[in-house]
């Protein structure tokens, strides 16, 4: 998919294997988009103070603790690269284990709106508030949104949310205003490890496939891509991820499907039923004695 004038489709590739959980993306997103504060309360979920994406959290860094080894450093890397890789692995010991040497790891991942190829939110919006940009992204125009909320249950990822004060829907715009003047999104600009990468979607997919091969060679066999396939239930995501475990571990649906996929068939059945009723009514009037 390309935008107007053959503009390439733009998107995000988030490589969770090098996310250090710094939350710079969350802060940059809030600062640039003037998003209200939230997440100032302790949740009891490690260092995760926002818990999920929402109207006031367009980026969410998840912290997932596991008793599972990550894998060793990659071969032929510089000392600086090994340091980054080791920081990403977050290995430690569990003092509560019998031998005190059970390995622990944190899986850290910065989640965001997926900017689906087949976006159900676009299908159900009655006002045109949601629209597809020339960059292939999906944006909400808050001044057009009437707060109906149809888009909230339509999203297969549970991304879109309504603000309590006015009921309007809000989500990541992939910094549409920045893209229009040739700048990259604020979250990608602020990421210190390049965990969040921005660019033409096809180029990102090729880069992501190479990164998976690199991790597999290094012994990180659990590395996999999520949302990159154009053949999945939403036609591929404009924001996809490299994960180190099953999608469910990160709170992501394993097989997302556009919720409006059956709408055309439903409308056809409804039209057929209406036509049948009209034909029966016409036949009934035709048979009435005059």
pLDDT in tens, 239-261: 999 999 999 999 999 999 998 86
Mean pLDDT of the chain: 84
No. of helices (H) and no. of strands (E), the chain: 8, 11
Distance between CA atoms of residues 110 and 188, nearest Å: 11
| Residue 72 labeled ligand binder | no
Q: Count the neighbouring beta carbons within 10 Å of the beta carbon of residue 17.
A: 26
> How many CB atoms are closer than 10 A to CB 268?
10
Q: Is 22 annotated as a binding residue?
A: yes
Is 187 annotated to bind a ligand? Reply is yes
**Does the pLDDT of residue 74 top 50, yes or no?**
no
pLDDT(69) > 70: no
Tens of pLDDT, residue by residue over 93-111, are 444 555 545 577 889 999 9
78 pLDDT above the threshold of 60? no
Per-residue pLDDT, 153: 94
CA–chain centroid gap for 285, Å, is: 56
On whether 76 is known to bind a ligand per the annotation, the reply is: no
Is 80 a residue whose pLDDT tops 70?
no
Angstrom distances, CA of residue 69 to CA of 61, 222, 247: 21, 11, 18
The kind and range of the H/E element at 31 are: helix 24-33
**288 appears as a binding residue in the annotation:** no
Is 93 assigned a ligand-binding role in the annotation? no
Residue 145 among known ligand-binding residues: yes
Q: In the block, which residue shows the tokens 């690269």?
A: 81
Which range, 32-41, 203-212, 258-267, has the best average confidence (pLDDT)?
203-212
Q: φ and ψ at 145, to 5 degrees?
A: -65, 130
| Nearest alpha carbon to residue 114 among 253, 263, 261 | 253
Between 25-34, 220-229, 280-289, the lowest mean confidence (pLDDT) is in 280-289
Q: How confident is the model at residue 282 (pLDDT cuts 50, 70, 90)?
A: confident
pLDDT at 267 > cutoff 70 = no
Q: Are 237 and 117 in contact (CB under 8 A)?
A: yes
To the question of whether residue 155 is assigned a binding role by annotation, the answer is yes
pLDDT at 283 over 90: no
Give percent of the chain above pLDDT 70.
79
**Residue 125 marked as a ligand binder:** yes
CATH 3.30.70.20 fits 4-259, yes or no: yes
The answer to whether residue 129 scores a pLDDT higher than 70 is yes
Between CA 171 and CA 169 the distance in angstroms is 7
SS (H, E, C) 195-229: CEEEEEHHHHHHHHHHHHHHHHHCCCCCCEEECCC
- Work out the pLDDT band at 46, boundaries 50, 70, 90: confident
Residue 253 is predicted with a pLDDT of 95
224 annotated as ligand-binding: no
Query: Any known ligand binding at 121?
Result: yes
Pair of tokens at residue 143: 């001044």
**Is position 148 annotated in a ligand binding site?**
yes
User: pLDDT digit string (tens) for 162-209?
Assistant: 998 889 999 999 999 999 999 999 999 999 999 999 999 999 999 999
In the chain, what percentage of residues exceed pLDDT 90? 64
| 116 annotated binding-site participant | yes
Residue 156 annotated as binding site: no
The per-residue pLDDT for 75 is 46
Q: Answer with the residue of higher pLDDT: 196 or 6.
A: 196
Are the C-beta atoms of 119 and 258 separated by less than 8 Å?
yes
d(CA 140, CA 169): 7
- Is 51 part of any known ligand binding site? no
Q: Rounded CA gap, 77 and 84, in Å?
A: 10
Q: Is 113 annotated as a binding residue?
A: yes
Task: Please give the model's pTM, rounded to 2 decimal places.
Answer: 0.79
Distances (CA, A) of 284 to 263, 264, 273, 276, 277: 31, 30, 16, 12, 10
| Dist CA 262 CA 258 (whole Å) | 9
Nearest-angstrom CA–CA distance, 179 and 173: 10
Give the angle 52-248-137 at the CA atoms, nearest 5°. Answer: 60
With a CB cutoff of 8 Å and minimum separation 6, the contacts of 142 are 129, 168, 169, 170
């Amino acid at each position: 998919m390309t935008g107007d004038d053959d503009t390439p489709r733009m998107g995000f590739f988030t490589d969770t294997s090098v996310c250090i959980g710094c939350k710079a993306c969350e802060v940059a997103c809030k600062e640039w988009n003037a998003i209200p504060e939230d997440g100032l309360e302790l949740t009891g979920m490690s260092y995760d103070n926002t818990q999920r994406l929402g109207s006031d959290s367009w980026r969410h860094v998840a912290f997932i603790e596991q008793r599972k080894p990550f894998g060793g450093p990659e071969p032929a890397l510089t000392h600086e690269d090994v340091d980054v890789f080791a920081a990403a692995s977050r290995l430690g010991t569990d003092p509560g284990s019998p031998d005190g040497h059970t390995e622990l790891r944190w899986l850290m991942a910065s989640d965001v709106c997926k900017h689906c190829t087949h976006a159900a939110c676009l299908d159900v919006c009655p006002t045109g508030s949601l629209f597809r940009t020339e960059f292939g992204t999906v944006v909400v125009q808050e001044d057009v949104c009437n707060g109906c909320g149809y888009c909230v249950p339509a999203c297969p990822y549970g991304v879109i949310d309504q603000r309590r004060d006015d009921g309007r829907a809000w989500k990541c715009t992939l910094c549409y205003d920045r893209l229009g003047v040739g700048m990259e999104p604020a979250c990608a600009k602020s990421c210190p490890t390049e965990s969040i990468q921005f660019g033409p979607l096809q180029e990102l997919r090729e880069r992501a496939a190479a990164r998976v091969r690199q991790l597999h060679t290094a012994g990180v066999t659990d590395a996999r891509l999520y949302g990159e396939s154009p053949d999945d239930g939403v036609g591929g995501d404009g924001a996809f991820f490299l994960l180190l475990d099953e999608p469910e571990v990160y709170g992501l649906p394993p097989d997302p499907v556009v919720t409006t996929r059956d709408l055309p068939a439903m409308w056809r059945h409804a039209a057929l039923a209406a036509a049948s009723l009209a034909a029966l009514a016409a036949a009934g009037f035709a048979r009435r004695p005059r």
